[in-house]
Structure 1
Amino acid sequence: MENRIAIVNSSSFGEVFTDHLDRLKAIGPVERFRFPSDIGGAELASALTGFNLIIASVTPTFSAEFFAHKDELKLIARHGIGYNNVDLAAARAHGTVVAIVPALVERNAVAENNITNLLAVMRKTVPATARVKAGKWVERADFLGHGLSNKTVGVIGVGNIGSRLVEICSYGFQDRVLSYDPFKSRLEIEQFGAEVATLPQLLAEADVILLAASLTPSSTGILDADALSQTKPGVYISNAARGALIDEAAMLAALHSGQVAGYAADVLSVEPAPASHPFLQEAQVVVTPHTSAYTTECLRGMGEKCVADVEAVVAGRLPERAVQPVADWLPAE
């Protein structure tokens, strides 16, 4: 079978670093696809008929229905570190390897953008800039903000990126950092400079909350109406992990009541966001289009990994960081 490569819903792969695209074209035909995030599995499989290698973004979902209808598919290479949009059990049953970008490639870029967006909200950077562009520099007193130094910061999720957030806040801003992660030991959390906290303690004591958790059934909606009601009044929250960690309707209500002073989001529950999304009408909200990994250094590393995954599979080898490593086409060990 001829190798055919589909680039699905990625607006960045091969656009900046065109040499990545050239390497793929040397393997076989390459085609870009853009699908709605909620496309059905059967429809998605039909649209990708004949493509046996996929480079995938955070959407759409490669569900059990997708695999049930898909013809030969050897690889889904995620252009990122998350894989919650791929049904790994269905991929295994289908003999499709699923590989991700090593976490360290995105660690600094995503953590830095989480802090960047947070500070933009706390210091009212976006509306202040708009006022200057409107010729109203003298109205600068309207933009009295808050600093991040010497605060109590809560980090939810202390994995690859969350641990970097702990380091930045603890050592860079001299913050007291409370961290909640039920999957990490006390040693794993404390080694980065944080205190272990329960979720209720973190909510009650944090001036700032940073979300860095993976999206799982237990973390979906972790900041819902009940959780937000337990926060310090006037808390700031920044999310560069997954949009569904937040109950967006509850967040909007908390912003309107003043319980949350500002929200920074690089991710939303449904992406891309329509211009009518209510967050976009809120002065105390900053939304960026899932660009936390968009640094030159990070994008090059992500692209290199995806190309290496395709090259490995074509050569009959298992790619590095395969979260689904079982396929009958792989040579026996």
Structure 2
Amino acid sequence: MATVELGDGLTVSALGFGGMSLTDVYGAVSDDDAFRTLAHAVDSGVTFIDTANVYGDGRSETTIGRLLKTRRDEVQLATKFGIVGQGGVGQRGVRGDREYVREQVELSLARLGTDRIDLYYQHRVDPVVPIEETIGAVKELVEEGKVLHIGLSEATGDEIRRAVSVHPIAAIQSEWSVVSRDVERFVVPAAREHGLGFVSYSTLGRKWLAGLLDHNDLVEGDVRLNISRYTPTNLAYNKPILEEFLQIADEVGVTGAQLALAWFYTKGREFDLPVVSIPGSRFAERVSENLAGVDVELTAQQVERLDTLAARIRGHRSAQPQLVSSARE
């Protein structure tokens, strides 16, 4: 597995693993099955594990903690703080105050069973607490050795600039995919300007770009039920776009998931930006499939065709559009 150096000297595997899938958010999964898939990822060369305190209300961190008991030094561990409230997706709030930051890092460390977090993200920017104050609180954790690097998720270009005035930032995380390119306007340029790496979630469109998502298969609790892009109406509207995408995948000789990853890594090179995708899965075979997509090479013509798709997609990428960067740029 190749490695990528993000910002602030943090080096991770070129493909990461998203820990949300270790919970029931995309369908039921047992703790043992989740653990086996996670272990398979690490066995296969994935060293970057990315989770959050709210995934499964701590369940994801607990499962990762099982792995860390014997393999802590093999991985770079990322987790997040900031999203609060369990009233359901779309009803959550955000906290970035120092008291909350210090409370949550201790809870995460306990669930993970470790004394340090390699990359600690502010999951969403608090609209009330200035980002300088939040990063200042995480900086204290760096000084105490509990956190090694600081990350931001869904921060705007301006918020990135304000954050780095307090402490170096290793990575900015957002969705960046063949059907979701809003970050290219302000976030990507700010990341380049200040030496951040980019970590993309939902690079596979939450399974849609793999051609494996049927709205009828979504059960209560699935996060996609709350995202407008995945309503039956919008899935039907976007179906011809997906068919065009999968046709290109057939021409390249790869799966939809692999083409989505290939496009993303191509964009990283195009923007001269260190990038890592963190697809999650409940299934070991999907992890292996994703790994094979990192090194796929596309022609300029194929990239040009794929570049046209995002502008045609109907529906927002987030269940809480007001909290993602594009709403505040």
Larger radius of gyration: 1
Fold conserved between structures, TM > 0.5: no
Q: Which has the higher contact order (CA 8 A, sep 6+)?
A: 2
